[in-house]
Structure 1
Amino acid sequence: MTSPNQTKNAKLLWMIIAGISIIVVLFFAIQWFLAQKNQQPSTNSDQPIAEETIASPDEVSSAASEITTMTESEAAVPIQLVQESLIKEPLPTNDSLAKEEIAKLDDIHHQLKDQQKDLKQQHEDLDALLKLKEEQIKLLEAQIAAESKT
């Protein structure tokens, strides 16, 4: 037989589980709502931002992948990193939009400079590895020649 104390404990346990479940569901709902709110473009300004004026992350990543996959034969051909329309368009007249645009472009510029440093470092490392491999091959050839003479 179950005592009244055990039934009260079971009910209390189920209420605690239900309460925690509701809190977890509310937490995820709020996170989802905030994520959706952040993804929507803001309409606080008088002038809408043209999509061509802001480099999307896809454009930045495609430009970065073009830089990293460039070979020496392609080095003679200049790669267009920025669209011509982006260069020719005037900056927004609203100061806050202009500052935001400049900050984004500065960020892209810093990312490209960092990537250029990384690529130069990788190139130097590759040259050093090639020299070491050439020395290793010469040593192995000398060792093979010495073994074949004896």
Structure 2
Amino acid sequence: MTLDQRNSPKLLLGITGGLVVIIMLFLAYQWFFATSNEVLPEHEAASLTMPAKPAASAKVKLDEPEVAIDEKTLQLVDEKILKAAVPENESLAKEEVAKLADIQTQLKDQETLLKAQHADADDLVALKEEQIKLLEAQLAQKQ
């Protein structure tokens, strides 16, 4: 290779472009497989695989015969979770407590928002009832 060929801007641009494409493919590969291979904590994985226990008050008679379910095989909470030790690492325990506190505040915010929506809906129902009464009175006057 001559000196002019080694210092060619086309060659430098080609090598740089090739490296960028290889790096982008590697990052895309890592991103796609990192999202699909996430490992769930034990308690979340167990709750996803176990069916929920049907409520006694929500029994509905269907044409299909009822299947007898053994109470021992159907559990909402895995026993391992209940007997598991608290994390010894203080930062993990604090992180878990902070996460639970954040979820609790979100639930409280959602509760207040739902109560406000319920109150607004009650107000709207009362106003609609009043409007219907006024319209009925106007209709009675015209007849």
TM-score between both structures, scaled by the size of structure 2: 0.51
What residue number does 2:110 align with? 115
The residue type equivalent to 1:51 in the other structure is: E
Distance 2:140 2:21 in 1: 73
Indicate yes or no: 2:91 matched with 1:91: no
C-alpha deviations, 1:32-56, integer Å up to 9, x for none? 5256447645xxxxxxx9622x699
Higher helix share: 1
The residue type equivalent to 1:145 in the other structure is: A
Q: Unmatched 5+ residue regions in structure 2?
A: 1-9, 49-75
Indicate yes or no: 2:97 matched with 1:102: yes
Q: 2:30 aligns with which of 29, 33, 45?
A: 33
Distance 1:36 1:142 in 2: 68
User: Root-mean-square deviation (CA), in Å?
Assistant: 3.8
129 and 110 in structure 1: CA distance in 2 versus 1, 3 angstrom threshold: same
Q: What is the total number of aligned residue pairs between the two structures? A: 101
Distance 1:120 1:131 in 2: 17
What residue number does 2:134 align with? 139
Q: Unmatched 5+ residue regions in structure 1?
A: 1-11, 42-48, 59-82
C-alpha deviations, 1:49-95, integer Å up to 9, x for none? 9622x699x8xxxxxxxxxxxxxxxxxxxxxxxx7669955532210
TM-score between both structures, scaled by the size of structure 1: 0.49
